[in-house]
Amino acid sequence: MAIVNHAKREINAKIVYYGPADAGKTTSLRYVYDRIKPSLRGDFKTLPASGSSLLFFDFSPFEQPVFAGYRLRIHVYTLQGKVANPAAWKMTLKGADGLMIVADASAEGTLLQQSVVEVRDYMGAYGIGLDAIPVVLQLNKGDLAVSLDPLAVAREVGVAGLSATVTTATKGDGILEAVTTLSRMVMEQIREREDLAQEKCGTLSRKDDTEKEYSSGGNDLAMVAADIPKAQVDVQTDVGPLFVSVVHDMIAVEGTTICIPLNLSWQGGTQRLVVTVAVASEQVVESDAR
């Protein structure tokens, strides 16, 4: 659970990259770290952890406060290589607000199945199910796999409800999209916190700013989103039809502004967008007919 420091008006959230050796966890972290504005990230650090190496860094996604005047800082962790001592993973996963399950897409499905079972057991020890925490299934080494359908893979390993995406960490393909998706999910969950309660449309308006920053590569965004196509959904539609649904229970109105959240889905991925509509009346001046 994210730690809120009300005195400093700061929120600290934790994301863990979980997976077996050689899946691409370290390469993924390095790629993300290298594309964060230096002024908004901490040092990339390594510490010994129960016989393994703990890699971690922290960063602020935005230069300005995001949640009603609270700044957000995200701490990213993983364990490098093969982890012989389960206690290392259990300790690393403690307090996680989001999980990135990294798997080798070119390897046998049993390895991914094993990873899912293991992380489910680790989180279960803290009383947390995979359906209660933001999780993204990152199928790495997609360039070595043939005809890979991430949603089908998720179903096969028993996590059909998870967001799934294909990446190639060595080239950076899909890495920022994956961490962006997970970060959004974590931020959405934080917004539900009672101690950070805001008026509904105010939350969505801030979320709309977030969506625009992520997709347009604005200067306030820590990640260099220029590597992500601006029309991400259009790029993906060549793999199948695009489905759009309105999240009706989150539509909000504030004054003359309407906030409409949309869920976009296609074969191989999903995305949440928020459309903000400003309503203005138009005055019609009638003149006498001559």
Residue 74 sits in a domain of what CATH number? 3.40.50.300
What is the CA angle 63-65-71, rounded to 5?
Answer: 90
Decide: pTM greater than 0.85. Answer: no
Q: How confident is the model at residue 281 (pLDDT cuts 50, 70, 90)?
A: low
What distance in Å separates the CA atoms of residue 171 and residue 161, rounded to the nearest whole number? 28
pLDDT for residue 216 is more than 90: no
Of the ranges 97-101, 131-135, 151-155, 173-177, which one carries the lowest mean pLDDT score?
Answer: 151-155
85 within a domain of the structure (yes/no): yes
**Inside any domain, residue 123:** yes
Residue 279 lies in a domain: no
Note whether residue 263 is domain-resident: no
133-170 pLDDT, tens digit per residue, is: 999 999 999 888 777 788 888 888 888 888 999 999 99
Domain that holds residue 128: 3-191
* Percent of the chain predicted with pLDDT > 90: 43
For residue 62, is it within any domain? yes
Q: Is the dihedral of CA 16, 19, 22, 28 positive or negative?
A: negative
Count up the domains in the chain and report the number.
Answer: 1
Tens digits of residue pLDDT in 178-213: 999 999 999 988 888 666 654 333 443 333 332 333
Q: Residue 102: pLDDT above 80?
A: yes
Q: Which residue has the higher pLDDT, 81 or 65?
A: 81
Give the β-pairing of 135-140 and 98-104.
Answer: parallel
Count CB neighbours of 129 within 10 A.
Answer: 9
For the residues 46-69, what does the mean pLDDT come to? 86
- Which of 141, 142, 103 minimizes the C-alpha distance to 119? 103
Radius of gyration of the chain (CA): 21
CB-based burial label for 261 (10 Å; 0-12, 13-18, 19+): buried
Residues 6+ apart with CB under 8 A from 13: 2, 72, 73, 74, 75, 97, 98, 186, 187, 190
Is the residue at 65 inside a domain? yes
* pLDDT over threshold 90, residue 117: yes
Quickly state the pLDDT bin for 268 (edges 50, 70, 90): low
* Mean pLDDT value of segment 30-37: 95
